[in-house]
Amino acid sequence: MERNVKILGAPTDYGANRRGVDMGPSAIRYAGLADELTSAGVSVEDAGDLSVPHHATHDPDAGSDNAKHLHEVREVTTTLADAVSTALADGWTPLALGGDHSIAIGSMVGSARDADIGVVWFDAHGDYNTPETSPSGNVHGMPLAAALGVGDFEATDWANASGLSAENVAIVGLRDVDKTEAAAIRDSDITAFTMSDIDERGIVEVTNDALDVATDGTDGVHISLDLDWLDPREAPGVGTPVRGGATYREAHEAMELVAESGAMRSFELVEVNPILDQHNETAELATELAASALGKRIL
């Protein structure tokens, strides 16, 4: 299936606990994203970076007792939601480049504005904390809860993805989850696959099951790929690395299955931090995985 992809940079670190992830879009572009996608037969238009507020423009602790920089996160994600929605309406597949994982709020809200969507969330973490439960207050640990309207995010006018239900969300590769967050995921309708599931059942079966969850009764799937899903030996340039992650080949196999499904509606690459990277190899891996998700094959 031929795709027209619009790249949307979201250079923000407001949701993260370490500086540098705001340079992720530049690093991914420098790694040759446009050329890699073109080689996969994809028509590419780079819309540049969204405008991101400066730290001095807002009170970083305003808006919530335990959600840092929530005003800035709201501004960035609202802008991204509009850009994603517009790209889809114009016939593009939006590819958002983070930036930290809080940008997923905007991606999901925009993708679900005029459609019922599912989500496959490739991540070491659940990102299902709320301001009430988060031990850190970093919003990059809250985007799934925000989009699903959990806790303090219930009935907000900016964070809830109207066309998304928890029963169409699958998390793949969990291995580092806060205790309260783990209980919340178990009590929800989210389907969660840990790295143990991948070890026992294999990446093909787990990814196909995740896609089945996300496509059941929906119009398309949002793919969220946090590079910390991979083992730090494969992707060292991330802010919250966790040992025991997906291998290089497992990650490519999963993205190839995404492409084969033909269900992807929107896509994001997040948490590439060039300050922490080695020779830009994590950004290069991100470009390769994006190409696999969009149809690139060995033969």
Residue 99 lies in a domain: yes
- Predicted pLDDT of residue 57: 52
Is the bond into 99 cis (omega within 30 degrees of 0)?
yes
Which residue blocks in the chain are alpha helix, DSSP H?
24-30, 33-39, 70-89, 104-111, 143-147, 179-187, 195-201, 203-215, 248-261, 281-293
- Whether 284 is catalytic is no
- Residue 55 known to be catalytic: no
Strand ranges across the sheet with 93-98: 43-49, 4-10, 93-98, 264-270, 220-226, 117-122, 164-174, 191-194
140 is catalytic: yes
Residue 216 catalytic?
no
Provide the token pair at 112.
């679900």
Q: Could you read off the pLDDT of 180-213 as tens digits, one per residue?
A: 999 999 999 999 999 999 999 999 999 999 999 9
**Which residue in the list 13, 36, 49, 101 is annotated as catalytic?**
101
| Overall domain count for the chain | 1
Q: Which residues of the chain have pLDDT under 70?
A: 1, 55-65
**Positive/negative CA dihedral, 35, 40, 45, 50:** negative
Terminal C-alpha separation, the chain: 16
Q: Considering 22, 123, 250, 268, which one is annotated as catalytic?
A: 123
Q: Is residue 126 part of a domain?
A: yes
Task: Please write the tens of the pLDDT for every residue from 45-99.
Answer: 999 999 998 765 545 554 555 889 888 999 999 999 999 999 999 999 999 999 9
- What is the token pair recorded at 35? 């050329």
Q: Collapsing DSSP states into helix, strand and coil, what is residue 219?
A: coil
What is the rounded CA–CA span in Å between residue 240 and residue 19? 12
Q: Among candidates 18, 22, 92, 16, which has minimal Cα distance to 50?
A: 22
- Single out the catalytic residue among 178, 226, 231, 284: 226
Would 299 be classed as within a structural domain? no
> 10 — phi, psi (to 5°)?
-130, 80
pLDDT, position 56: 56
Other Cβ atoms within 10 Å of 31 Cβ, number: 21
* Catalytic (active site) residue 69: no
CB atoms within 10 A of CB 55: 11
> Does 298 fall in a domain?
no
DSSP string, 213-241: HHHTT-SEEEEEEEGGGB-TTT----SS-
Residue 75 lies in a domain: yes
The number of angstroms, rounded, from the C-alpha of 205 to the middle of its chain's C-alpha atoms is 21
Of the candidates 102, 104, 101, 110, the residue with the CA atom closest to the CA atom of residue 82: 110
Domain span at residue 105 reads 4-293
Structure tokens at 103: 């940008």
The answer to whether residues 246 and 292 touch, using CB atoms and an 8 Å cutoff, is no
Q: What is the CATH number of the domain that holds 65?
A: 3.40.800.10
pLDDT value at residue 151: 87
Domain-embedded: residue 134: yes
Binding site residues, as ranges? Answer: 101, 123, 125, 127, 226, 228
- Can you read off the two tokens belonging to residue 159? 């964070």
Other Cβ atoms within 10 Å of 52 Cβ, number:
18
